[in-house]
Amino acid sequence: MLVTGSSRGIGRAIALRLAADGWRVAVHCSNNAAAANDTVSELGGAAAGVYRANLREAGSAASLWAAALGDGPVHALVNNAGIYNPLSFLNSSDAEFESNLADTFAINWEAPLRLSRYACKVFAAAGSGRILNVASRVGFRGEAGAALYSASKGALINLTRALAVELAPAGVFVAGIAPGWVETAMVRDNMASRLPDILDTIPLRRMASPEDCAASAAFLLSDEAAYLSGVVIDINGASYFH
């Protein structure tokens, strides 16, 4: 199994949980090799290797998939890597907008799209395989200051649904999760002053943990969820329904 963005946060939690469930996990990072190696150390014998690829760059998805596949069979793909760069749609400069657009869609949309295409060709030929996409609550509901992020995650949600329909006859399972606020280092660093206001919007009165997300991911990738292809599970503490 290849889990993108698995050196930290949600991706790391997914990697560790899936390893506990018996999967061998290929760990991916973009830049933080030290964190990726820490994840590999914790995985122990369940680690299938560590792979470094900057998914902003053209051709990186192809090289990442080829490297992981070259080291052994890959039976599942988790498209977790993503970025969130807030941007004012009205007040950003053209240069800021274009830079944010290029980075957000390269990592959040084009990389998982291409990785899914490479994976489903292999999976369809084998008659089985699983793809899990990590989307976001804002892919359903939108959010001020996050137009590009919301659009990229909305596209990922609808890719999940379309591929589930198209690939079902080939034995390929496709599903997703859509977390709301998750307590990661990135959130703690950038949202500390907003935490009381954020918690006021969550009836459970806490952010999700990465392990909450990993539990849903592990369920969807298990045999028990075999009939749930196309599902995107919300993980938001009852803060949003659709």
How many residues does the structure list for the chain?
A: 242
Q: Residue 171: which residues within 8 A CB-CB, separation 6 or more? A: 123, 124, 126, 127, 128, 129
DSSP code for 208: B
**Are 100 and 148 contacting, i.e. CB atoms less than 8 angstroms apart?**
yes
> Which one of 51, 84, 118, 149 is the catalytic residue?
149
Q: How far from chain centre, in Å, is Cα 221? A: 13
Q: Residue 98: which residues within 8 A CB-CB, separation 6 or more? A: none
DSSP code for 30: S
Residue 241 φ/ψ region, left for φ over 0, alpha for ψ in the -120 to 50 degree band, beta for the rest:
beta
Based on the residue annotation, tell me whether 149 is a catalytic residue of this protein. Answer: yes
- Supply the residues annotated as catalytic: 149
